[in-house]
Amino acid sequence: MADLSQNQWQEELLKDDNAVILDVRTAEEVEEGYIPNAVHADIYQPQEFMSKIEALDKTKTFYVYCRSGGRSAQACAIMNQMGFENTKNLLGGFSEWTGEVANK
């Protein structure tokens, strides 16, 4: 797992053809806005979270975020234990995000 600043995360994401954005916040938080093209897997719903993670392609690079960076770091650690080699945690999370935002 790599902890990346907002700028590093955005720069790497833009250059990465193998990237998947993973949002591990709650559904209520996602309704407030999200990073476009993000896959949602609520880490507070453990069974659903694990099912969604198990279905993902381990060869991809995962750019993981939550509201402030804590849950996403936890998600990266879980994913690393499951065999995902490339996980990148967004420090500061969505609350400090300055990039593009989508709404439902």
Residues designated as active site: 66
Are 74 and 43 spatial neighbours (Cβ–Cβ below 8 Å)? yes
**Distance (Å, whole) CA 101 – CA 85:** 27
